[in-house]
Amino acid sequence: MRIAIIGGGIAGLAAAFELEKARAGGADLEYALFEARDRLGGSLASQIVDGAVLEFGPDSFLTEKPAAAELCRELGLGSELLPSNDAQRKTYIVVHNRLVSLPDGLMFLVPTKLVPTALSPLFSLSTKVRMGLELLHPPRRAGQGSNEDESVAALVERHYGAEAVDHLADPLLSGIYGGDASQLSARSVLPRLVEMESRYGSLTRGMLAAHRQMRARSPESTGPADRSRRDATQAPRALFTALRGGMQQLVDALSARLDAGSIHLSAPVTAIEKDPGGWRVDAGGFVRIYDALVVASPAWVAAALLNSVDSELGAELAAIPYSSSITVNLIYDEARLGPLPDGFGFLVPPSEGRSMLACTFVHRKFLGRTPPGKAVFRAFLGGMKNEALLGEPDSALIAIVRRELREILGDRIFGQAGEPDCTQVSRWPRAMAQYSVGHKRRMEHIAARVSTLPGLHLVGNAYDGIGIPDCIRLGRQAARSLALAAAGAEPELLRPV
């Protein structure tokens, strides 16, 4: 079986790795990976500059989703996995130029602790009263739109009011997804909250019940023998996991495992056709027929390529919105800064009218990746509402970040900072898929169209999770399904989309 992989981001690389394993294990298959750029990894890229790890794209993955750490271990990177420094995990929201910490007990946008919420300067008195009364929120009944998708902003506003959207949902979602709470789908982005609402009515009651159930299953609630056995193996897990040497380590380790002759860089696929003999792929004049395709490019590229094969599929793929972002890394001498507040960094609500969406205090979030005496700030700009920034020169973007850092952190901390030791800017145009309202229905439609096109697999961040672990999971699943098909088993068993 001949397989073409289109796109060498983490999803395409994970697919290639799985196919390479199957091939080495004797499966009758060959693969070719086409990547438009002159390097592999897509959004994953990092570099070590003056001893500091600078992440250009993602800096870590969620520990809770195992696919990324599993792959790292398989690649021999187990000892390189680095947990986030959760003892110092604290995040601030910028409100009128001041850093206000997120109240203790906040879980997935849901306040679960009365006293910290009541004392938090993040919310006005009327929002706090509303948050208390939310405990009485009735479940949504059929006929009240309980089966309809809605935006994250609409869900949060129905429960906690507009200020909770402005001070919580908007900054968290623009900081994480580069997205807009009024566009993102509650069902796709916050499925747990949607389920809690239908069951409990109140999200706070639902979250407290989930927390109680989790505690009931935790070691403290079991017998002493059980407890000591679990204590030895289950240290509390950090929220995020990074690689000591940066995300490029994962890209390099994957690349090293692939057959060099099967990788084609600077080779954008320009056309795909369905041919009686399979799939005809044109990569800049290099034309070949393949039995199967793993399309691991962004959905908007997949749309353009597949439109002539199935215009309905092309239209659905083209309708998936994307946001662009920019990361700016600045290295400073700590001695020139005033004392930074504790924590990992801050998020900026759109209502503050700034270019920065978020800023990570890199030297705090992951220990040991910055030389002693140095501070690294990693700012995010762009997002759905500020795409125009992408066209600005590096010097202008760096100046914006320095000015906004000074205004937000104040002269006491940043006034004497002076010139940074080092600066680095990365642009990520249309890199982050947005799961807009109706995303699940769109996925069903796409899956139905794909099921009529044997051998076609769509993987990447546009479909079933935007994080690195989800992209790895989909890429590997598609490849396993093809390897099974090559071995004569049911081919569509593990179709990812």
Ligand X SMILES: Cc1cc2nc3c(=O)[nH]c(=O)nc-3n(C[C@H](O)[C@H](O)[C@H](O)COP(=O)(O)OP(=O)(O)OC[C@H]3O[C@@H](n4cnc5c(N)ncnc54)[C@H](O)[C@@H]3O)c2cc1C
CB of 317 to ligand X, least distance (A): 13
Q: Which is nearer to ligand X, 320 or 337 (CB)?
A: 320
Q: Which is nearer to ligand X, 455 or 469 (CB)?
A: 469
Q: Which is nearer to ligand X, 47 or 198 (CB)?
A: 47
x/- letters, 331..350, toward ligand X (CB under 6 A): --------------------
x/- letters, 145..184, toward ligand X (CB under 6 A): ----------------------------------------
Dihedral (Cα; 380, 385, 390, 396), 10-degree rounding: -70
CB of 431 to ligand X, least distance (A): 4
Q: Which is nearer to ligand X, 10 or 99 (CB)?
A: 10
Q: Which is nearer to ligand X, 61 or 200 (CB)?
A: 61
Question: How far, rounded to the nearest angstrom, does the alpha carbon of residue 257 sit from its chain's CA centroid?
Answer: 25
CB-CB neighbours of 115 under 10 Å = 10
Q: Are 415 and 340 in contact (CB under 8 A)?
A: no
By CB under 6 A, residue 298 contacts ligand X: yes
Strands 263-264 and 422-433: unpaired
Q: Which is nearer to ligand X, 156 or 305 (CB)?
A: 305
Stretch that binds ligand X, among 93-101, 118-126, 204-212, 297-305 (CB under 6 A): 297-305
Closest CA to 240 of 390, 55, 415: 55
357-362 contacts, C-beta under 8 A, 24 or more apart: 357/171, 357/174, 357/175, 357/178, 357/325, 357/381, 357/382, 357/383, 358/171, 358/174, 358/175, 359/401, 359/405, 359/408, 360/59, 362/52, 362/53, 362/55, 362/59, 362/329
Q: Which of 120, 127, 241, 327 binds ligand X (CB under 6 A)?
A: 327
Q: Which is nearer to ligand X, 3 or 431 (CB)?
A: 431
How far is the C-alpha of 423 from the C-alpha of 372, rounded, in Å?
A: 18
CB of 212 to ligand X, least distance (A): 29
By CB under 6 A, residue 467 contacts ligand X: yes
By CB under 6 A, residue 103 contacts ligand X: no
Q: Which of 16, 19, 44, 482 binds ligand X (CB under 6 A)?
A: 44
Q: Which of 37, 130, 227, 403 binds ligand X (CB under 6 A)?
A: 37
By CB under 6 A, residue 496 contacts ligand X: no
CB of 197 to ligand X, least distance (A): 26
CB-CB neighbours of 369 under 10 Å = 23
CB of 304 to ligand X, least distance (A): 8
Q: Which is nearer to ligand X, 9 or 278 (CB)?
A: 9
By CB under 6 A, residue 468 contacts ligand X: yes
Strands 106-107 and 46-49: unpaired
CB of 35 to ligand X, least distance (A): 5
How far is the C-alpha of 168 from the C-alpha of 120, rounded, in Å?
A: 13
Q: Which is nearer to ligand X, 64 or 419 (CB)?
A: 64
CB of 347 to ligand X, least distance (A): 14
Closest CA to 268 of 302, 316, 240: 302
By CB under 6 A, residue 284 contacts ligand X: no
Q: Which of residues 401-460 bind ligand X (CB under 6 A)?
A: 428, 431-432, 460
Q: How many residues bind ligand X (CB under 6 A)?
A: 36
Q: Which of residues 2-31 bind ligand X (CB under 6 A)?
A: 6-12
Q: Which of residues 220-279 bind ligand X (CB under 6 A)?
A: 268-269
CB of 305 to ligand X, least distance (A): 7
x/- letters, 57..96, toward ligand X (CB under 6 A): xxxxx-----------------------------------
Q: Which is nearer to ligand X, 41 or 206 (CB)?
A: 41
Q: Which is nearer to ligand X, 159 or 457 (CB)?
A: 457
Contacts with ligand X, residue ranges (CB under 6 A): 6-12, 34-37, 42-44, 57-61, 268-269, 296-298, 301, 325, 327, 428, 431-432, 460-461, 466-468, 471
